[in-house]
Structure 1
Amino acid sequence: MNPSGLSGDQRGGSVDVVKDRNGIDQVLLRSSGGFSARVSLYGGQVRSWMTDRGEELLFTSSKAVFKPPKAVRGGIQIGFPQFGNRGTLEQHGFARNKLWVIEKNPPPFMIRTDSDGKTFIDLLLKPSDEDLKVWPHSFELRLRVCLGANGNLSLIPRVRNMNCKPFSFSFAFHTYFSISDIGEVRIEGLETRDYFDNLCQRERFTDQGNSLTFESEVDRVYLDTSSKVAILDHGKKRTFIIQKEGLPDVVVWNPWERKTKAMADFGDDEYKRTLCVDGALIEKPISLKPGQEWTGRLDILLLYSS
């Protein structure tokens, strides 16, 4: 079924709605270039991003739980209104395990959307009565997911304060990239940046290396980073370029062997095949006055090397 009433130009691509195994709607985006992305209304989560060759670019655990209220281990999860477990809310907030809706007539975007020639969908989350009990702030969280003809994936979140008083929030796109092997990848673009190390009681360090490679568990929040970060996968001869606006921080996470074995929804050896690199807003939460809106943007580009 093609959802009617969607705004914007979907030239050359298609938007279809299908049901998952639990009867929850998923939006399937197809670009004119043969790429595809699948977005679940449960959590507003991008579950799949595939190339024109049928190659999956996002990781999902073979032991992932697909039945609510559990968040699916993989894809791109939405961390809102907090990321981590420092507050009174559940870890990474509640947006990732709530049911979103398709918004057919969203308010105009005030930043560039590059929608021409792209296939996209607009999703909306509003707080339920249950949400207001644990986080007593009325909000509207919008998410536009765009798929370019060349396969580039863009996510544009918007948070509006519908309260009569200010509130503050954190945000993250918790992204599980599919990789060849954790020993075959490196991250560039975080050199000389300060980071909080969650494995050392959030002690602050400065990255001294030329690039970030992996030999053990990593759980860091890099602060005030540049707008572009690259993940180079030598095994698959490809590079993910992460470009971001309004998301100054970058989370880098791999649980390694010991912690993975303690997770019921993570295969024992699967830490070797995934790396989380998140565009995030953590160190300095955003404060919104009544009626104010925050907008961010995450673009993920795919490049192949010979």
Structure 2
Amino acid sequence: MMSKGNKGSQIVTLKVGDGSECTINLHGATVTSWKNKGEDIFFCSEKAVFDGKSPIRGGIPIVFPHMGLWNLGPKHGFARIKQWKVAETVTQSVDDPSCRVFILEDDEETRNMWNARFRLEYTVNLAEDSLRVSLKVFNKGTQNSFSCDEAFSFMTLMHTYFRVDDVTKAGVKGLKGLKYKDVINGGEHLEERETVTINNEEFDGIYKKCPCPVELVPEMDKTTSRRRLVTMNLNDTIVWNPWAERAKATPDLGDKEYHNMLCVMSGAVSEPNILGAGQYMTFTLTIVVD
């Protein structure tokens, strides 16, 4: 179902029979909310900007074709700030209220930043107690085209914001024994903790070659539903919380909202993804609430 959202932005809503639903903003094809049987799974800031230009602070922004600061264009690439289209020609997308496919292709603006011919197909599928997002990246070049016969290199990441009642009581399991890059303090370390937690300071760790699945426990001192992250070709996991100082310096995030969010992101960012002319790659994240 298509509707109008903040400041006229186009919103697609998916539903399943158990009363669960999710919404996708065509600006960035950003999944902005997911209610699983009435429970909010994702965090979206009360100060999130819906101006059709800025990235949306919450849900699942799509990072492509670069993660982090980028000398060719905006931070984390352009996919999260471009207007996507609904693939109305895909039969499942038209007839199934629990699934939609979204399309983004290169244009003059993207080629001026990153001279590549590409097509992105992003499938969002809502099911009972799970949400699956899948990004298919096509290199539209052909071996017979003089100007479009080159491979391109890219990164991609599902920048997922999870809602928690108290970030200091939440934890992430499945990362013990992995090497991670400490983005805040520098250096590479071996993760020795059974459960990664956030305690009184910003944390930004990039964990490489993660086993599957990784699990977010929203409240470790209670018996509550957990979020299992099952991935395909998204072999890196980033755990991030901005804490107080960074939150205050972030215009589209409330000063105290860091208490209620924990980013557990699934990506392919630690090694380059090389895609030859005429080829494609698929990256999938399935979040299971159990």
Instruction: Give the letter for the 2:72 counterpart.
Output: T
Q: Does 1:132 align with 2:111?
A: yes
Q: Does 1:93 align with 2:77?
A: yes
Alignment partner for residue 41 of structure 1, among 26, 46, 64?
26
Alignment partner for residue 278 of structure 1, among 265, 270, 273?
265
Alignment partner for residue 278 of structure 2, among 291, 294, 301?
291
Gaps of 5+ in 1: 1-15, 109-116
Alignment partner for residue 249 of structure 1, among 236, 254, 260?
236
Instruction: Give the letter for the 1:103 counterpart.
Output: A
For residues 190 and 162 of structure 1, the distance between their equivalents in structure 2, rounded to whole angstroms, comes to 36
Q: Are the aligned partners of 2:15 and 2:97 in contact in 1 as well (CA < 8 Å)?
A: no
Give the aligned length.
Answer: 278
Deviations 1:129-185 (A, max 9, x none): 01100100010011000001x131000110000132110000000000000101111
Q: Are the aligned partners of 2:9 and 2:50 in contact in 1 as well (CA < 8 Å)?
A: no
Q: Are the aligned partners of 1:68 and 1:97 in contact in 2 as well (CA < 8 Å)?
A: yes
Q: TM-score, normalised by structure 2?
A: 0.92
- Who is 2:135 aligned against? 157
Q: Does 1:121 align with 2:96?
A: no
- Who is 2:146 aligned against? none
Structure 1 position 86, deviation (Å): 4.9
- Who is 1:11 aligned against? none
For residues 194 and 36 of structure 2, the distance between their equivalents in structure 1, rounded to whole angstroms, comes to 30
Q: Does 1:168 align with 2:121?
A: no
- Who is 2:10 aligned against? 25
Q: Are the aligned partners of 2:124 and 2:134 in contact in 1 as well (CA < 8 Å)?
A: yes
Deviations 1:21-46 (A, max 9, x none): 32222110010111001011110100
- Who is 1:83 aligned against? 67
For residues 284 and 105 of structure 2, the distance between their equivalents in structure 1, rounded to whole angstroms, comes to 20
Classify 1:118/1:63 alpha carbon distance in 2 versus 1 (closer, same or farther; 3 Å): closer
The alignment's C-alpha RMSD in Å is 1.8
Structure 1 position 236, deviation (Å): 7.8
For residues 86 and 209 of structure 2, the distance between their equivalents in structure 1, rounded to whole angstroms, comes to 33
Structure 1 position 205, deviation (Å): 1.0
Deviations 1:190-219 (A, max 9, x none): 000011111123x21110111111112111
- Structure 1 residue matching 2:129: 3-state secondary structure: coil
Gaps of 5+ in 2: 142-148
For residues 229 and 33 of structure 1, the distance between their equivalents in structure 2, rounded to whole angstroms, comes to 26
Structure 1 position 118, deviation (Å): 7.8
Q: TM-score, normalised by structure 1?
A: 0.87
Q: % of aligned pairs identical?
A: 30
